């Protein structure tokens, strides 16, 4: 099922406009269809959806069929609007909140990654949901979870344990859904933080393509501001790091999350940031697709989110297109009309081998000497990254 599209795929991470992900508790298929109509109207071809783990498996022995049926209805609604679907399993972490079942907490408290009982429960959950969603022909991918490395350090782990945990669950997913891409998703601490127990090697060796999440609030926007070259090329930089670290030169990279977080990207600059960032990364030959975070804003009547999380949507909660949505729709149409055109590239060698020198990851982080050198070179055209021997 894995193929190189003539132009990259374009999609959105689906955040329901009514009730955020709490809407799974009171599912409304009509509301879902209205949201997905918004996204199809932008010319998007896929959505990434997020069932919430403890609401499907509230007890280790229970998989709630009604919750699975609601997920299947969302997938069917996407098909009605011409959208394919990627399903994330372990939520896990969403918009700064963690959702974990009670059987892994309180007096049962155990590491999600190290404890054999929790891993057995997770295996049952992943097998059940992967098997169910694979019955729908418009499901193209299953990701283990949304940035599962956010669940550390509350759940202890080591690099070896994290890798084994992910490989075990990917095997489970692939057995349950053999015709669907099985993927592993982690945020960029795995690339930049020397002590992080998830590794860049996990990104590029596990699963059937690499995924990266580009968020400029990780420090890159402080390098040169909202429309500076470091900020506008951060997505391309992550794609290049993933391509360089993979042992397979043909392995695609999915830009699975990118968005316009305030205050790093002020409202009046969000359309320009969207267009110019997409234009910087879209011609990269390693790029498989771009999936925007997120589809819809979060209703400000919901409390306790970090302020930047409320306004990341392409649409308001009342379905109004925002400037980033208009810019994204325009650039998608232009790319589909004109195609992608990879250009000749120069190459820079990183100071760190990201496969073997994890304790030196800070040397390629945003603002590092190497990152600044890459950004300066990128101003003159594409720049591939190679790793030292």
Contact 354, 192 (CB under 8 A): no
Least confident piece of the model among 2-11, 77-86, 264-273 = 2-11
Q: What band does 367 get if pLDDT is binned at 50, 70 and 90?
A: very high
pLDDT value, residue 322: 98
Contact 127, 175 (CB under 8 A): yes
Place of tokens 């042992």: 247
Average pLDDT over residues 327-341: 96
| HSE-CB for 140 with a 13 A CA cutoff | 16
Contact 263, 221 (CB under 8 A): no
- Whether the per-residue pLDDT at 176 is higher than 70: the answer is yes
Q: Rounded CA gap, 386 and 270, in Å?
A: 32
Q: Rounded CA gap, 13 and 246, in Å?
A: 25
pLDDT digits (tens, 9 = 90+) for 109-122: 999 999 999 999 99
pLDDT value, residue 389: 87
| HSE-CB for 367 with a 13 A CA cutoff | 12
Q: Is 381 left (phi over 0), alpha (psi -120 to 50) or beta?
A: left
- Superfamily designation of domain 9-344: Glycosidases (3.20.20.80)
Strand partners, 9: 289
pLDDT value, residue 4: 42
117: number of Cβ within 10 Å = 12
Average pLDDT over residues 123-144: 98
Q: What band does 1 get if pLDDT is binned at 50, 70 and 90?
A: very low
Contact 114, 157 (CB under 8 A): yes
Q: What band does 6 get if pLDDT is binned at 50, 70 and 90?
A: confident
- What is the overall mean pLDDT for the chain? 96
- Whether the per-residue pLDDT at 50 is higher than 50: the answer is yes
Q: What band does 336 get if pLDDT is binned at 50, 70 and 90?
A: very high
pLDDT value, residue 298: 98
Average pLDDT over residues 9-27: 98
Q: Rounded CA gap, 344 and 43, in Å?
A: 29
- Whether the per-residue pLDDT at 2 is higher than 60: the answer is no
Place of tokens 């997938």: 75
- Whether the per-residue pLDDT at 218 is higher than 60: the answer is yes
Q: Rounded CA gap, 220 and 365, in Å?
A: 9
Domain ranges of the chain: 9-344
Average pLDDT over residues 263-273: 98
Average pLDDT over residues 27-50: 98
Average pLDDT over residues 263-272: 98
What token pair was written down for 21? 């992900």
pLDDT value, residue 132: 98
pTM of the model: 0.97
Q: What band does 313 get if pLDDT is binned at 50, 70 and 90?
A: very high
């Amino acid at each position: 099922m894995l193929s190189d599209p003539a132009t990259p795929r374009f999609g959105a991470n689906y955040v329901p406009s009514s009730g955020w992900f709490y809407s799974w508790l009171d599912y409304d298929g009509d509301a879902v269809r209205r949201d997905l109509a918004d996204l199809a109207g932008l010319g998007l071809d896929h959505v990434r959806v997020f069932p919430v783990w403890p609401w499907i498996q509230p007890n280790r022995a229970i998989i709630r069929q009604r919750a699975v049926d609601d997920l299947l209805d969302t997938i069917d609604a996407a098909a009605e609007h011409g959208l394919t679907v990627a399903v994330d399993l372990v939520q896990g972490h969403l918009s700064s909140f963690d959702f974990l079942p009670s059987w892994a907490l309180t007096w049962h408290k155990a590491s999600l990654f190290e404890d054999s009982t929790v891993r057995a429960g997770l295996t049952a959950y992943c097998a059940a949901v992967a098997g169910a969603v694979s019955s729908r022909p418009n499901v193209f991918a299953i990701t283990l979870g949304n940035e599962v490395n956010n669940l550390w350090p509350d759940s202890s782990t080591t690099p070896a344990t994290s890798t084994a945990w992910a490989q075990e669950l990917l095997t489970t997913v692939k057995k349950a859904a053999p015709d669907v891409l099985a993927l592993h998703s982690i945020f960029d601490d795995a690339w930049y933080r020397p002590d992080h127990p998830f590794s860049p090697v996990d990104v590029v060796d596990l699963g059937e393509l690499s995924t990266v999440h580009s968020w400029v609030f990780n420090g890159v926007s402080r390098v040169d501001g909202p429309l500076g070259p470091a900020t506008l090329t951060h997505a391309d930089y992550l794609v290049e790091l993933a391509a360089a670290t993979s042992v397979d030169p043909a392995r695609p990279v999915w830009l699975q999350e990118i968005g316009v977080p305030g205050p790093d990207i002020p409202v009046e600059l969000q359309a320009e940031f969207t267009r110019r960032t997409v234009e910087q990364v879209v011609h990269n030959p390693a790029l498989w697709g771009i999936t925007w975070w997120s589809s819809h804003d979060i209703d400000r009547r919901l409390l306790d989110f970090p302020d930047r999380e409320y306004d990341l949507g392409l649409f308001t909660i009342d379905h109004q297109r925002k400037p980033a949505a208009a810019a994204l729709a325009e650039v998608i149409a232009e790319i589909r009309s004109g195609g992608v055109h990879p250009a000749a590239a120069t190459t820079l060698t990183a100071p760190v081998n990201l496969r073997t020198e994890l304790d030196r990851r800070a040397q390629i982080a945003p603002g590092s000497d190497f990152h600044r050198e890459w950004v300066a070179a990128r101003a003159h055209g594409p720049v591939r990254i190679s790793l030292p021997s």
